[in-house]
Amino acid sequence: MSTESQITEWLALQKQPMIDLLRDVVNIDSGSYDKPGVDAVAARFEQHFAEHGIEFSREPHDVFGDALHASVTKPGSNEKPVLLMGHRDTVFPKGEVARRPFTIEGSKAHGPGVADMKAGLVINVFVAAAFKKFGTAPCPIKVLITSDEEIGSPSSRPVIEREGRAARAVYNSEPGRPTGNITTSRKGGVFMRFEIFGKAAHSGNNFGDGISAIGELAHKIVQIHALTNMAKGITLNVGLIAGGQSVNTTAPHAEGQIDMRYIDPADRGTTLAAIESIIATSTVPGTTAKLHISGEFLPLVQSESSKTLFDAYRGAAADAGLPKLDGEFAGGCADSGFTASVGTPTLCGLGPVGGNAHTAQEWLDLDSIVPRATALALAILRTDVKSV
């Protein structure tokens, strides 16, 4: 029996074990700032690795969840590995699992993080188990499970970039698009907070002595939003604001949070410079302001080597029983931008198909689990990774 047949037949029998593991990890609260919860999810994956004889290790972090590494290697091999990547944190607060635990309705599963992206992690670790079982990996397989992607990967980015540089190809199993496609390009994003300082005064007795930080905030919001250029894919959104002391006091302080998205890497610097100029220039005399960058993602730009990787994956997906798929652009950001930006061919959105991420209506197509795992395994077997 060929290697492809062995792996394909074994994965075809793993649907229920995959669902069982998915249920376990979804039913653990793992918001990005919940280190104990995020690390509890890592422990469940460590159990899986131990059961399948896969070597694993933790890279500890004091604030955020630890990075979890696993590998399937040939003895004495010094070849560059293929990297299977994904994050285990979610956007949901502690207690979300108690409110809406993992459930199945027909062919769809629901629960916090079920699609984004715990199902993708499940197929990654089962593909690793398949290669371990049959000892047929064409090159070393590394698995990286990170902890803080939903907040811009503040602790994981250096780890991702290091592992990306060391890899010959990266497969990031973010959820498959609702269309069934995978993601071949994404926007980059910069997330910022700006503070404005004014002067408090009684708004009835001493209005003229006050300097309104909220008034300045309003001017800056309008100017920041005006930087949006839909034709170029540049969007600016001040999504959160706060400020003021009381309704009858001119506001001594105000702040806003900015979401900036772009496609072309060259647009990052020019747009950021325009924002910095807006923050530094006062419309309301007497106000001052500061800008803080709280996190960012780099864009996923499809290189020629990534196109080669995609062509191999598309053929593998067809043989795994998936309908013909295309590469799709996504406005959302992901860690795949970091590995693409260090020059490693990268594909994203290889996980099972799902939708409505970050909401209580998040869903996952359970029937896509085995085909997407099979497509990933076949792509690894068939890709001439030395040429990408």
Domains of the chain, residue spans: 3-186+299-387, 188-297
Give the span between the Cα atoms of 363 and 208, in whole angstroms.
Answer: 55
- pLDDT tens, the chain, 388 aa long: 788 999 999 999 999 999 999 999 999 999 999 999 999 999 999 999 999 999 999 999 999 999 999 999 976 667 899 999 999 999 999 999 999 999 999 999 999 999 999 999 999 999 999 999 998 788 999 999 999 999 999 999 999 999 999 999 999 999 999 999 999 999 999 999 999 999 999 999 999 999 999 999 999 999 999 999 999 999 999 999 999 999 999 999 999 999 999 999 999 999 999 999 999 999 999 999 999 999 999 999 999 999 999 999 999 999 999 988 999 999 999 999 999 999 999 999 999 999 999 999 999 999 999 999 999 999 999 876 454 5
Question: What tokens appear for 269 in the block?
Answer: 């610097």
**What pLDDT, on the 0 to 100 scale, is given for residue 75?**
67
The answer to whether the CB of 291 falls within 8 A of the CB of 275 is yes
Phi-psi region of 106 (alpha: psi -120 to 50; beta: other; left: phi over 0): left
Tell me the DSSP string of 363-379.
Answer: EEEGGGHHHHHHHHHHH
Give the span between the Cα atoms of 365 and 355, in whole angstroms.
Answer: 9
Domain 3-186+299-387 has CATH 3.40.630.10: yes
**What pLDDT, on the 0 to 100 scale, is given for residue 321?**
93
Give the span between the Cα atoms of 322 and 338, in whole angstroms.
Answer: 28
Q: What is the CA radius of gyration of the chain?
A: 23
Which of the listed CATH numbers 3.60.15.10, 3.30.70.360, 3.20.20.370, 3.30.930.10 matches domain 188-297? 3.30.70.360
Q: Nearest to residue 90, comparing CAs of 372, 313, 362?
A: 362
The answer to whether the CB of 372 falls within 8 A of the CB of 117 is no
Phi-psi region of 91 (alpha: psi -120 to 50; beta: other; left: phi over 0): alpha
**What pLDDT, on the 0 to 100 scale, is given for residue 76?**
63
Residue type, 233: G
Strands of 103-105's sheet in order across:
103-105, 108-110, 363-365, 354-355
Q: In this structure, how many other beta carbons lie within 10 angstroms of the beta carbon of residue 295?
A: 15
**What pLDDT, on the 0 to 100 scale, is given for residue 135?**
85
| SS3 category, 49 | helix
Tell me the DSSP string of 196-260.
Answer: EE-B--BTTTSGGG-B-HHHHHHHHHHHHHTT-BGGGTBEEEEEEEEE-S-TTB--SEEEEEEEE
Bridging pattern class, strands 67-72 and 327-330:
unpaired
Bridging pattern class, strands 82-87 and 169-172:
parallel
